[in-house]
């Protein structure tokens, strides 16, 4: 739907300095050589033992500083995550509340998988506009996949896991960019794609079971495909992406050719091209794949990291539009259009 008078006044990003190349991963036996050749990925950002909430704090501080707002100006804090953040039973947004924004606002975690920031955009926009006195929201995402139960090099088909954090300050007052539209839909028939045949209880992490979307996807195809259901589900995801693209562009009053850049998930070259850019009939040069291939798939942070990169390198300016697209477990398909209305004051 259209998001009138919803703006972005600050963007923050934290990408670890340590980057492990695909060549090194292949030489160490972490990443299959055939996968490296097929997907054409370059490297992954690795945070070591730096906790995800600490990375989130870095990104949040940067976004707030750039927005020109004080922590006390905020009315909402949304923290999107895809992997474990710290001690079980402890909410990571509480760390940001203590260290940065205080407790006088609604704060909660969003577990919407890799589409968490899209959900945050929708929820924050609605929350701010529901009450006249509410003015600004801080949206944060962070993940560190370097844990014993996750293999970043075999996380899923066509991507490797990168560690990073990203943040946005959303506001009803004019900022350098406008949230022109945002859409989410769910392909319920594909729910099993990210579950596979793994039992619902006990949860895998409680019994030390490693997490692999690649293995679950393969289980789905092997066990469900013979029934004819998997093919329909996979086609359903692509249809949903086409519909989201059409709707989010229509809400924004633009066509695909009017889009300056496209930020999809940091996936392999063929996935970005076939599932995303071909749908738009746009060349890969308008995608953010060249950047994404150097840091890995950073959970819910991918698209905001790309926005920050495009701004700081001068690849987006006033009048430009960024189309953000993503898919996540559920299966959810999301899209948003960001219109750059002014040069960010920090540039």
| Domains of the chain by residue range | 7-174, 180-190+234-340
**Under 8 Å CB-to-CB from 212, ≥6 apart: which residues?**
151, 154, 155, 156
Predicted TM-score (pTM) of the model is 0.95
Radius of gyration of the chain (CA): 19
Query: Which among 326, 322, 324, 327 has a CA at the least distance from the CA of 336?
Result: 324
Place of tokens 């060349």: 283
Give the 3-state secondary structure of 109-153: EECCHHHHHHHHHHHHHHHHHCCCCCCEEEEEEEECCCCCCECHH
What is the DSSP code (8-state) at residue 287? B
User: Which superfamily is assigned to 180-190+234-340 in CATH?
Assistant: Thiolase/Chalcone synthase (3.40.47.10)
pLDDT of residue 287: 98
Residue 97 DSSP symbol: I
- If we measure between CA atoms, which residue out of 138, 168, 158 comes closest to residue 289? 158
pLDDT tens figures, 174-197: 999 999 999 999 999 888 888 988
Task: Tell me if 7-174 shares its fold with 180-190+234-340.
Answer: yes
Pairwise CA distance, residues 264 & 100, whole Å: 30
Residues 213-242 as b or e (16 or more Cβ within 10 Å = b): bbbbbebbbeebeeeeebeebbebbeebbe
Task: Give the tens place of pLDDT for each residue, 12-35.
Answer: 999 999 999 999 999 999 999 999
CA dist 217 and 204 (Å) reads: 16
pLDDT tens digits, 297-330: 999 999 999 999 999 999 999 999 999 999 999 9
Task: Check the CA dihedral 243-180-298-314 and report its sign.
Answer: positive
Phi/psi of residue 200, each to 5°? -75, -25
Residue partners of 331: CB distance under 8 A and separation at least 6 = 186, 187, 190, 191, 193, 194, 233, 237, 240
CATH class of 7-174: alpha beta
């Amino acid at each position: 739907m259209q998001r009138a008078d919803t703006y972005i006044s600050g963007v923050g990003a934290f990408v670890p300095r340590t980057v492990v190349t695909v060549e090194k991963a292949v030489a160490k036996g972490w990443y299959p050589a055939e996968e490296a050749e097929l997907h054409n990925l370059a490297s992954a950002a690795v945070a070591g033992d730096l906790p995800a909430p600490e990375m989130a704090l870095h990104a949040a501080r940067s976004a707030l500083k750039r927005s020109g707002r004080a922590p006390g100006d905020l009315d909402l804090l949304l923290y999107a995550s895809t992997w474990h953040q710290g001690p079980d039973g402890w909410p990571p947004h509480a760390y940001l509340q203590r260290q940065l924004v205080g407790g006088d606002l609604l704060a909660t975690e969003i577990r919407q998988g890799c589409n968490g920031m899209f959900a945050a955009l929708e929820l924050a926009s609605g929350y701010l506009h529901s009450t006249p006195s509410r003015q600004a929201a801080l949206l944060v995402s962070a993940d560190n996949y370097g844990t014993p139960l996750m293999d970043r090099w075999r996380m899923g088909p066509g991507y490797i896991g990168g560690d990073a954090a990203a943040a946005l300050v959303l506001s009803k007052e004019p900022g350098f960019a406008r949230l022109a539209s945002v859409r989410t839909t769910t392909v319920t028939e594909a729910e099993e794609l990210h579950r596979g045949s793994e039992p619902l209880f006990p949860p895998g992490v409680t019994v030390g079971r490693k997490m692999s979307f690649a293995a679950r996807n393969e289980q789905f195809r092997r066990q469900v495909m013979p029934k004819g259901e998997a093919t329909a589900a996979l086609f359903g995801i692509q249809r949903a992406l086409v519909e989201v693209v059409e709707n989010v562009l229509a809400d924004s009053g633009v066509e695909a050719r009017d889009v300056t850049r496209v930020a999809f998930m940091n996936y392999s070259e063929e996935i970005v091209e076939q599932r995303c850019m071909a749908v738009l009939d746009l060349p890969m040069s308008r995608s953010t794949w060249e950047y994404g291939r150097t840091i890995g798939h950073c959970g819910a942070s991918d698209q905001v990291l790309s926005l920050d990169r495009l701004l700081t390198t001068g690849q987006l300016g006033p009048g430009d539009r960024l189309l953000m697209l993503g898919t996540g477990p559920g299966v959810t398909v999301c899209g948003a259009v960001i219109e750059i209305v002014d040069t960010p004051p920090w540039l």
